[in-house]
Copies of this chain bind each other. A is one copy, B any other.
Amino acid sequence: MLEGMQCCGTCPVRHQAVCGALDHRQLQRLAAVARRRKIAAGQILFMELEPIGSYANVVSGVIKLTKSLPDGRQLTVALLFAPDFLGRAYSSDNPYRAEAATDVEICVFPKTAFEKLVADHPGLRERLFRRSLDELDAARRWMVLLGKKTATEKLASFLYFLAEGSIQRCGKPASGQQAPVIELPLSRVEIADYLGLTTETVCRQFHRLRVKKVIEMDNKRLVVIRDMTQLVIAAGFIGAGPIVRPAM
């Protein structure tokens, strides 16, 4: 077992995560109960409708949140990356299944201890609130993708979304913009579940983007973005033609 403070001191997401709101003393309090855990890819953190006994920060890796229909169809409603927070305040049971998409490291806080800390510390509350608002915006952006975009646009948007994230994490590639390389954290099936498509369609769209010289792929999991502007256009973020502003 890692000792608490040691854990927080070396934590790579110390400042970006919700705990960034805490001062030294408060961090000690949190660290006393926090525990690092490694989760292997594919492991399920908690099932749908299962009560969750703890909160957690994602320290590294990617976690999927998925919902499923009674007949087995399922959709991944969110991906959680490095400084993201896992857990639902004000509700004991939660409506998602959380699963490690890659090998994952999380920092787990027991429910009651964390809630006490939240109750005492307004800064922490604010961070959680901000985060949930950001998630809400992200969810609604994704709704547009799911409801209105074509298969190509969906995949292009997904790749752009990943590129954007990796740029934010690793620093942007200056103005010289060398081609960003992204490692897909999801299998084809998982991508399909995230985009509301089937595996086959996802494959074909990868193919199309490759043929159009927008991307390049060495490994099945490694994507090089050859033409960022084309990707953005393919994603439907800017119109290929003139921008149509809907009339009042």
Name A residues whose Cβ lies closer than 8 Å to a Cβ of B.
44, 65, 67-75, 77-78, 88-91, 95-96, 122, 125, 128-130, 132-133, 135-137, 139-144, 146-149, 195-196, 236-239, 241, 243-244, 246, 248
Contact = CB atoms under 8 A, between A and B. Distances in A.
B129 A70 contact: no
Contacts of A237: 70
A209 to B, nearest CB: 19
A137 B132 CA distance: 10
Contacts of A140: 65, 67, 77-78, 95-96, 139
B141 A143 contact: no
Contacts of A91: 133
A89 B129 contact: yes
State the 4 A-B residue pairs at the shortest beta-carbon distance, nearest first. A147-B196, A146-B146, A139-B139, A146-B147
A146 B236 contact: no
A75 to B, nearest CB: 5
Copies of this chain, whole number:
2
A148 to B, nearest CB: 5
B148 A143 contact: no
A208 B241 CA distance: 38
A69 B236 contact: yes
A248 B47 CA distance: 11
A243 B237 CA distance: 39
A122 to B, nearest CB: 8
B71 A239 contact: yes
A75 B144 contact: yes
Nearest to A71: B239
A90 B142 CA distance: 21
A196 B74 contact: no
B144 A143 contact: no
Given A72-B244, A144-B69, A148-B75, A125 B132 contact: no
A96 B136 CA distance: 12
A246 B68 contact: yes
A1 to B, nearest CB: 28
